């Protein structure tokens, strides 16, 4: 069924056509009807399946046909997300879809001046996409009211649990009207997620996409056994092999991110980093440069795994394996989005084999091993300018030795 066949307002259909939304993805096809009927929805869908549009499209339709007078600092639809990047992304999707419809959308997050956000809230907004910290901060100052919330969306709920936002979510639920529509989205499902979800939704329509394989079929993902000290050489090799490709590199810590960027710089490769130590202005600039392809390599920590929705990311490299198995799904899901194909490669050192086993248990299947022959492994290191024992140096040393005048040995007496 094409979007043009849906019973949507004309301007929303025009926006969908302009944005090249022709047919709904699986998650959109299954979510849009129950949301339009006003039902609660509990959706489990792998990343990159188009779930933001799955709730944005019907929400815009519902709000555009329910015109009401708004009080100052009020909000009609509240979308709660775990990270700044995700707030920017989701608000961006809403803004594109509400063009010409007259609904007001605001992305609310910390790390930026609050005065412009307060000014926007003063007249009330229809759709607020917010991270917990700034949202509760402004609410405590009296600049945000929850009493007119008609629709609550919890997006990336598993990540919010992981980041310790469960008390924030429970506090929020106490402050918004009981008579509301709740949409609960998560890429992974476990007991904690189930307990949280069923405490928030009522008689929800449960939707689960690709439950047997949390990694999208569009992603070719594999693992290569690479020792910790050699990972930089193999990352360098991948980047040089694909100079025109956008490559997203994931590491465990912000310190590691900066070290990897420095290692790449030493061999003449440009990269950028994004992590929680950077202020919001820097993070926005980095994301913009990566999105536009000005810089092709971005080194990120897991704080960014859920919020990076960059078109045409051809490669994801897990430089370090994630400690949380679910994060593997979110990392590799940054490529192969929508109908595009993508490639994800993970480096696994000897000390990370136990972590790999945990990830494979979570996936309920082994990850394909990318076999590297011994000569290929050694050549990858030797051909790097950063190698201290590269083959050319060894050859030059041998030539110099051979060219040195030979000392004639005297005859023994």
Per-residue pLDDT tens over the stretch 227-242: 999 999 999 999 999 9
Residue ranges of domains in the chain: 3-208, 219-386
- C-alpha gyration radius of the chain: 25
**pLDDT per residue as tens digits for the range 388-409:** 644 444 455 555 656 666 555 4
In which band, very low, low, confident or very high, does the pLDDT at 195 lie, cut at 50, 70 and 90? confident
Give the three-class secondary structure for 38.
Answer: coil
The SS3 of residue 377 is helix
Give the Cα-Cα-Cα angle 333, 296, 325 (nearest 5 degrees): 25
Per-residue confidence (pLDDT) for residue 74, from 0 to 100: 94
Q: In this structure, what token pair is assigned to residue 191?
A: 């007991």
What the block records as the tokens of 73 is 């600092």
Residue 13: per-residue pLDDT: 95
Of 251 and 340, more confident: 251
Buried b (16+ CB within 10 A) or exposed e, 139-176: beeebbbbebbbbbbbbbbbbbbbbebeebbeebbeeb
Structure tokens of 41?
Answer: 């929805």
Rounded to whole angstroms, how far apart are CA atoms 317 and 17? 34
Q: Which of 117-126, 134-143, 210-219 has the lowest average pLDDT?
A: 210-219
Q: What is the pLDDT of residues 114-135, one digit of tens each?
A: 999 999 999 899 999 999 889 9
Question: Is 311 a residue whose pLDDT tops 90?
Answer: no
Which has the closest alpha carbon to 332: 295, 371, 289, 362?
A: 362
Residue 404 corresponds to which tokens in the numbers above? 């040195």
Residue 62 vs residue 390, higher pLDDT? 62
pLDDT at 397: 52
Span 79-86, average pLDDT = 89
Residue 413 pLDDT greater than 80, yes or no: no
- Please state which CATH number belongs to domain 219-386: 3.40.50.300
pTM of the entire structure?
0.70
Range name among 33-37, 61-65, 104-108, 299-303 with the lowest pLDDT average: 299-303
- Looking at the domain that runs over 3-208, which CATH code has it been given? 3.40.50.300
pLDDT computed for residue 224 by the predictor? 97
Measure the CA–CA gap between 346 and 320, rounded to whole angstroms: 7
What pLDDT is stored for residue 412 in this prediction?
Answer: 45
Same fold, 3-208 and 219-386: yes
| More reliable by pLDDT, 169 or 321 | 321
Q: What is the mean pLDDT of the chain?
A: 87
Q: Is the pLDDT of residue 108 over 70?
A: yes
Mean pLDDT of 21-44: 93
Q: Going by DSSP bridges, is the β-strand pair 105-108/125-130 parallel, antiparallel, or unpaired?
A: parallel
Q: Which is higher by pLDDT, 393 or 142? A: 142
- Residue 357 has phi, psi (to 5 degrees) of -60, -40
Confidence of residue 2 (pLDDT cuts 50, 70, 90): confident
Distance separating alpha carbons of residues 64 and 11, to the nearest angstrom:
10
| Residue owning tokens 């476990």 | 190
pLDDT tens-digit series, residues 325-338: 888 988 998 898 76
Q: Is the pLDDT of residue 175 over 70?
A: yes
249: β partners: 299, 317
Helix axis angle, 231-241 relative to 374-382, nearest 10°?
80
């Amino acid at each position: 069924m094409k979007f043009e066949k849906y019973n949507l307002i004309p301007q929303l259909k025009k926006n969908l056509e302009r944005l090249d939304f022709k047919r709904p993805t699986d998650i959109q096809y299954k979510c849009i009807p129950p949301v339009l009927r006003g039902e609660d929805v509990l959706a489990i869908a792998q990343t990159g399946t188009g779930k933001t549009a799955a709730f944005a499209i019907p929400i815009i339709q519902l709000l555009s046909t329910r015109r009401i007078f708004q009080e100052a600092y009020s909000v009609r639809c509240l979308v709660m997300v775990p990270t700044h990047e995700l707030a920017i992304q989701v608000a961006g999707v809403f803004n594109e879809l509400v063009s010409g419809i007259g609904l007001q959308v605001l992305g609310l997050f910390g790390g930026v001046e609050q005065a412009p956000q307060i000014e926007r809230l003063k007249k009330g907004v229809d759709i607020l996409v917010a991270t917990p910290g700034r949202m509760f901060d402004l609410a405590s100052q009296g600049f945000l009211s929850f009493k007119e919330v008609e629709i609550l969306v919890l997006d990336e709920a598993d990540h919010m649990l992981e980041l310790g936002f469960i008390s924030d979510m429970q506090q929020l639920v106490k402050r918004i009207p009981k008579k509301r529509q709740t949409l609960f989205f998560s890429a992974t499902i476990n007991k904690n997620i189930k307990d949280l979800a069923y405490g928030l939704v009522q008689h929800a329509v449960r939707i689960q996409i690709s439950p047997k394989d949390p990694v999208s079929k569009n992603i070719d993902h594999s693992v290569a056994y690479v020792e910790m000290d050699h990972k930089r050489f193999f990352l360098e090799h991948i980047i040089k092999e694909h100079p025109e490709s956008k490559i997203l590199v994931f590491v465990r810590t912000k310190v590691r991110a900066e070290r990897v960027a420095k290692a790449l710089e030493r061999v003449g490769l440009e990269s950028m980093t994004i992590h929680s130590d950077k202020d919001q202005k820097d993070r926005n600039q980095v994301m913009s440069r990566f999105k536009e392809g000005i810089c092709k390599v971005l080194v990120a920590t897991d704080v960014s795994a859920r919020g990076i929705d960059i078109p045409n990311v051809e490669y994801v490299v897990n430089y370090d394996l994630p400690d949380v198995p679910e994060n593997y799904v979110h990392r590799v899901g940054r490529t192969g989005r929508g109908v595009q194909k993508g490639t994800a490669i993970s480096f696994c050192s000897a000390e990370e084999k136990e972590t790999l086993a945990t990830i494979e248990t979570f996936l309920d299947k082994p990850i394909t091993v990318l076999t590297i022959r011994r000569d290929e492994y050694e050549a990858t290191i030797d051909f790097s300018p950063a190698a201290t024992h590269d083959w050319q140096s060894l050859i030059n040393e041998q030539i110099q030795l051979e060219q040195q005048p030979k000392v004639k040995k005297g005859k023994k007496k």
